[in-house]
Structure 1
Amino acid sequence: MTTDLVMWQIGLLTAISFAVGILGGFVGLALGTIRLPAMLLLGMPAPIAGGTNILVSSLASLSGAIRHFREGRVDKRIVLVMGIPAFAGAFIGGFLSDIVSERLLIGAAGALVFWQGVEFLILVRNRRRTGGPHMFGSDLEGAQGDFTPKRVSLEAGIGLGVGLLGGAVGLILGSIRLPALIRVLRIDPRIAAGSNLFIGFFMGSLGWVGHVTRGQVDYLLLITMGAAAMAGSYLGARLTGRVQLNTLILTMGAVLIVVGILLFWRGVVG
């Protein structure tokens, strides 16, 4: 299925997808929540915009994840511990979408993501003011994670819960998984970013079949936005290993705040 977008609109969305891809590859998020409002504002029908967006998000995640994997920033243990429960949760969540209000779920997710972003910025600010370690600790630079049974169980539970929520509302929700990976497993944020993108690819892939079979994909836009997102995500992933840890966390915080606002607005306005 195709929409009635004219060439300048397709070009604009492609440019936005490239820019969002760079940012997403850098911080380890698919950032479909930023692309989707742009698609809707240009008049795309919501089902087609959502279906196309989740496919673009999956492609962007794959491209960034490949770069992170090549540079050793994808931890297979994280993919198993959080990824498998998230996949199962997303599958089940798809059948629960009619039970709980979608707007309520999206609004709650937005509030949580927003607070995580604010907290990240506060931590970096305190670090700069005092010169002391923030709660992530300077030891997390290069940290391989703390995979105790208690932490693994908690992380698996979070993965399942985020998967259920994402499956119900049709979002990958890497913006919730990412802070949890850093906090619970105490892993280097760079490794968390790479592993989160890897999980995001498979999460997005689960949405392919349903949207494709229902004709909710604009294939021309998928090709242009998908290619741009993949190129941008790959470039962004290259930057992750080249910046200071506090700079990465600061960027993560700012992005989470924006994503949280967008999610909350979508939940309130619909």
Structure 2
Amino acid sequence: MLAMGGLIGFIGAGGAGVVIAVLTLVFNIPIHTAVGTSLAAMIFTTLSGAFSHFREGNMNIKIGLTVGLSGACGAFIGSKISTLLPGSELKFFTASMLIASAILVYTRLTYPNLPLFHLKQGQSADLTGSRFWLLAGLTGVGNGLLSGTFGFGAAQFIQLSLLIFFAMPLYHSVGTTMLIILPIAAFGGLGYLLSGYLDFMLFIQVLLGLMIGAYVGAKFTRHAPGWLLKWMMVLLPGVAGLLMILFDLK
């Protein structure tokens, strides 16, 4: 968990999906318990990482709070949807979303001029007034639903949203994503707690490693070469998702 926390803080990912993969594949934790525990742990992991990114100047507070608070509503609803899914289906969907997030991030960072990505990274996005609040709200609710339903922090989808809709520079998207995940993880974790899928002893064990690692990892983000950040953002969720599917087939 210490090593996982370092990677999560470094690339700005909430990491709940990757933690779920480790808990289910290595420690044989039931999927719903792993989902609830890891998502709840993200509350404190992102708090630690977000504070570090704030100190480093890698954050847009207005966008982070607006998207994050609306995302909290979506995450709570999503957690209730998740409890209706059988364990095998939830594991497959979670793995599939991790792989999809890796593909999306790779496509966005490698082919930024595709029509889908109509705003170039670093270009100013003209979003003011009601247009800003509507887009931020929809972005938050959509990512929150994904996070709460499938049990992962949706960091890659959030980062992609920030790059596309808000034309945010890569380093700022990393830090702002940590802030957005904080309320999403809090309300998603609350939903799983109320449904009885939160192991407190496991929660403490996961939390200690992730918090320390995320704080340290965030210190290296701005000093890392851009190509390394890009590949880590792609490989971490992609490999975790593939392993979950392959081991489940066995």
Scaled to the shorter chain, the TM-score interval is 0.7 to 0.9
- Following TM superposition, by how much is the alpha carbon of 1:167 offset from its aligned partner in structure 2, in angstroms? 2.1
Q: Which amino acid aligns with 2:103?
A: W
* Unaligned segments of structure 1, at least 5 residues: 1-16, 127-133
Q: How big is each residue's C-alpha offset from its partner over 1:103-161, in whole Å with a ceiling of 9 and x where there is no partner?
A: 6754653453132133156349x9xxxxxxx9986x73xx7765356566444323211
Q: Which amino acid aligns with 1:93?
A: G
Q: Out of 175, 190, 199, which is 2:156 matched to?
A: 175
Equivalent runs, 1:208-247 vs 2, <5 Å: 208-213=189-194, 214=196, 216-219=198-201, 221-247=202-228
User: What is aligned with 1:67?
Assistant: 52
- Following TM superposition, by how much is the alpha carbon of 1:210 offset from its aligned partner in structure 2, in angstroms? 4.1
| Contact persistence 2:36–2:192 (CA under 8 A) | yes
Q: Out of 22, 30, 33, which is 2:17 matched to?
A: 33
Q: How big is each residue's C-alpha offset from its partner over 1:51-79, in whole Å with a ceiling of 9 and x where there is no partner?
A: 32222222211111110112222212212
Q: Out of 79, 92, 95, which is 1:94 matched to?
A: 79
Over alpha carbons, which structure has the higher Rg?
1
Q: Which amino acid aligns with 1:225?
A: V
Normalised by the size of structure 1, how large is the TM-score?
0.73
Q: Number of residues paired by the alignment?
A: 240
Mapped partners of 1:37, 1:256: distance in 2 = 10
User: What is aligned with 1:184?
Assistant: 165
Normalised by the size of structure 2, how large is the TM-score?
0.79
Q: How big is each residue's C-alpha offset from its partner over 1:140-189, in whole Å with a ceiling of 9 and x where there is no partner?
A: 3xx77653565664443232112122222333222211111112211111
Mapped partners of 1:209, 1:78: distance in 2 = 23
Mapped partners of 2:141, 2:14: distance in 1 = 19
RMSD: 3.4
User: What is aligned with 1:54?
Assistant: 39
Change beyond 3 A, Cα 1:107–1:48: closer
Instruction: Out of 165-174 and 69-78, give the one that drifted further.
Output: 165-174
| Contact persistence 2:18–2:236 (CA under 8 A) | no
Q: Identity, % of aligned pairs?
A: 24
Mapped partners of 2:205, 2:237: distance in 1 = 26
Equivalent runs, 1:1-270 vs 2, <5 Å: 17-40=1-24, 41-97=26-82, 98=84, 102=90, 105-106=93-94, 109-120=97-108, 122-123=110-111, 140=122, 146-148=126-128, 153-213=134-194, 214=196, 216-219=198-201, 221-261=202-242, 265=245
* Unaligned segments of structure 2, at least 5 residues: none
Q: Which amino acid aligns with 1:94?
A: S
- Following TM superposition, by how much is the alpha carbon of 1:46 offset from its aligned partner in structure 2, in angstroms? 3.1
Change beyond 3 A, Cα 1:199–1:90: same
- Following TM superposition, by how much is the alpha carbon of 1:215 offset from its aligned partner in structure 2, in angstroms? 6.3
